[in-house]
Amino acid sequence: MNGICDGRVVVVTGAGRGLGRAHARAFAAAGARVVVNDLGVGLDGTPDPNSPAARVVAEIHAAGGEAIAHGADIATTAGAASLVTTALDTYGRLDTLVNNAGFLRDRMLVNLDEDDWDAVLRVHLRGHFLPLKHAAAHWRAETKAGRRPEARVINTSSGAGLLGSLGQANYSAAKAGIIALTLVAAAELHRYGIQVNAIAPAARTRMTQHTFADTMATPESGFDAMAPENVSPLVVWLGSTASAGVTGRVFETEGGRITVMEGWRPGPTADKAARWTPEEAGETARKLLEEADPPGPVYGAGS
C-alpha cells in the first residue's frame, strides 16, 4: 500500500475502537506500518476480556496493510517503553506517535471521588506523557547518532479541554493538561527533528455515543459528520513528512471542518505602575471585562 506515509512506522494508542481504530486503518491505507495499541478495557477503564487490537490488525491485514498488536498499559513506564521497543523490534524504526487512549468516569464535581479523578488523569495525561517521553528519548538518541528523524507526535485533547464540560471536571482537566504538554514538548523537542501537535476532535465513539447518538448521515448527502473516520485525514497528514514546519499547534476537527485554535493570548490590559487597592482592582477588572470577548460556553451549560 502506497501513500503519504509510505515507509513510515506509526504507533497509535487506544487503537482498538473509535478514533484510534480509524487512525490506525487510515495510516495503513496511506502506506504506514502500524503498531496498534489497546489495553482492551471497558468505557470506564475496567478490564475487557475481548481486546480489540487484534481485530484491527486483522482488518489492516485484510486490506493489504502491515500492522502488529500491542496490549500493554501505556500509562506505566514498562508499557510505554515496550510500545517503542515493539515498533523498533518489529519494523526497525519509529516515525510517528499518535496518543489517543482514554476513558471516562463522569461525575458532577461534588460527587467526583479521588479514584475517579486519578484514574482519568492517569490514562489521559500520564498515558500521553510516558509514550511521548520514551519515543522522544529514542529520537533524541537518533539525532545524537547523526540520524536526525522526521518524527511526528499527535496528541488528543478535546473541546472539554478548551472550554470545559459539565460533569467532566477530571476529563476536562486532563485534556487541558494535554494541550500544555503539547506546547512544551513542541518547544523542547524541535531540535531533535520532532514535531508535536494536538487535535481536539468531535466524533461518535464509545465515549460520545450518547452525545452524538442521533447524528448520522443525512439522506441527501450521505455524509455522516460524526463518523470518526472524518478526523483521521488530518491526523495522517500531521503524522507524515508533508506536515514539515507545523508544530506546537492545536486543531479542532469535526466532520468536514478544521479549525486552528489560537489559545490564550493577552486581551485588554491596564497597568497602574503601582499597587491597586481592592476597590480600584475591581473597578478596573470590570472595565477590562467590558472590553474583552466573552468566553465560549462550557459544554453542557448552554449558550
Asked if 136 and 51 count as a contact pair (C-beta separation under 8 A), the reply is no
Q: Please tell me which residue in 82, 157, 158, 240 is annotated as part of the active site.
A: 158
Residue 104 amino acid letter:
L
For 246, the grid coordinates are 507545523
Mapped onto helix, strand or coil, the DSSP state of residue 38 is: coil
Q: Which amino acid, one-letter code, is at 149?
A: P
Q: How far is CA 100 from CA 92, 245, 290, in A?
A: 23, 22, 39
Active-site choice (91, 165, 171, 192): 171
State the pairing for strand pair 257-261/194-202: unpaired
Residue 171 bears catalytic tag? yes
Q: Is 183 helix (H, G, I), strand (E, B) or coil?
A: helix
CA 186 – CA 243 distance, rounded (Å):
14
Half-sphere exposure in the Cβ direction for 244 (13 Å, CA): 6
Instruction: Please state, in angstroms and rounded to a whole number, the distance separating the CA atoms of residues 248 and 260.
Output: 11
Residue 131: name the closest of 4, 7, 14 by CA: 14
Q: Is 158 a catalytic residue?
A: yes
Other Cβ atoms less than 10 A from the Cβ of 132: the count is 21
Dihedral (Cα; 124, 126, 127, 129), 10-degree rounding: 120
Set 172, 175, 232, 299: catalytic member: 175
Write the burial class of residue 102 (CB in 10 Å: 0-12 exposed, 13-18 middle, 19+ buried): buried
Residue numbers annotated as active site: 158, 171, 175
